[in-house]
Amino acid sequence: MINLKIRNLLAGLILIFFGTSASAIPVVEISSFGSTFGQDEILGWGFTANEDINVTALGNFDSSQLGLNGSFEIGLWESSGTLLASTTVSGNTGTLDGYFWYEDISIIQLIAGNDYVIASYGLGSAVNVAFQSVVTTVDSVITQNNGLFAFSNSLAFPTQITAAPYYAASFQYEVPEPYALALFGLGLFGIGIARCKA
């Protein structure tokens, strides 16, 4: 009887733990900005991962929050220049979160202590890039580094350094819901006690 109860409890905990959807968290949130300028090059910023995180979506800045007037390519690279992921964001077909339109990508794991770069490529003045007097909240899972840019007619790794970051691109990541982790841990603890009593 105890073994049957243990099996049922474990099955329920697995359903709770793995069936709980994780929350998509923007790594950068912009609350206000002093000025913008039209993007006609590759613009982005570098960062260091402070813990292992899973990137689930890449996004492009939209000062109007009404939809992008054109298509823009977003890239995520290792600091060596190796492209990890890319996607195209256009119009209002993605998901708007703050000032960024996001498109989902296949999950990419970033490793704590490693450096990365995210940047956007667009032509003309179809999108504005937050640049001066920007008020942001940067998630503690990363440390933001210098701004980066490059002149190119296609998406490429930016190598030119500037002190201020260009908020043309950002990303979202996911973490498991804390209560699901707690339930799973408590369940395993309870199973261990039940086995000892058996």
Q: Write out the DSSP string of 17-84.
A: HHHSPPEEEESEEEEE-SEEEE--SEEEEEEEESS-EEEEEEEEE-SSSS-EEEEEEEEEEETTS-EE
**Cβ-based burial of 168 (10 A; exposed 0-12, middle 13-18, buried ≥19):** buried
| Residue among 178, 192, 172 nearest 118 (CA) | 172
Do you know the residue count of the chain?
198
Q: Model-level pTM?
A: 0.76
Q: Is the pLDDT of residue 6 over 50?
A: yes
Bigger pLDDT: 105 vs 40: 105
Buried residues in 47-67 as b, exposed as e (16+ CB within 10 A): bebeeebebbbbbbbbeeeee
Measure Cα distances from 27 to 41, 161, 184 in Å. Answer: 23, 21, 27
Identify the band that residue 129 occupies on the pLDDT scale cut at 50, 70 and 90.
Answer: low
The mean per-residue pLDDT over the stretch 110-123 comes to: 92
Q: Could you tell me if 120 and 157 are in contact, meaning their C-beta atoms sit under 8 angstroms apart?
A: no
Each residue of 20-57: pLDDT tens digit? 446 789 999 988 776 665 556 888 999 999 999 999 99
Q: Is the pLDDT of residue 194 over 80?
A: no
Each residue of 54-89: pLDDT tens digit? 999 999 988 888 888 888 899 999 999 999 999 999
The mean per-residue pLDDT over the stretch 190-195 comes to: 53
Least confident of 87-91, 100-104, 143-147, 165-169: 165-169
Identify the band that residue 173 occupies on the pLDDT scale cut at 50, 70 and 90.
Answer: very high
Q: Is the pLDDT of residue 176 over 90?
A: no
Domain boundaries along the sequence of the chain: 1-20+180-198, 23-175
- Around 77, how many Cα atoms within 13 Å sit in the side-chain half-sphere? 20
Q: How far apart are CA 128 and CA 169, in angstroms?
A: 11
The mean per-residue pLDDT over the stretch 157-164 comes to: 90
Q: How far apart are CA 140 and CA 89, in angstroms?
A: 26
Q: Specify the pLDDT at position 192.
A: 55
Q: Specify the pLDDT at position 64.
A: 84
Q: How far apart are CA 141 and CA 152, in angstroms?
A: 31
What percent of the chain lies above the pLDDT cut of 90?
42
Q: What is the mean pLDDT of the chain?
A: 79
Q: Specify the pLDDT at position 107.
A: 95
Q: Which fold has domain 23-175?
A: Jelly Rolls (2.60.120)
* Tokens linked to 102: 């996001």
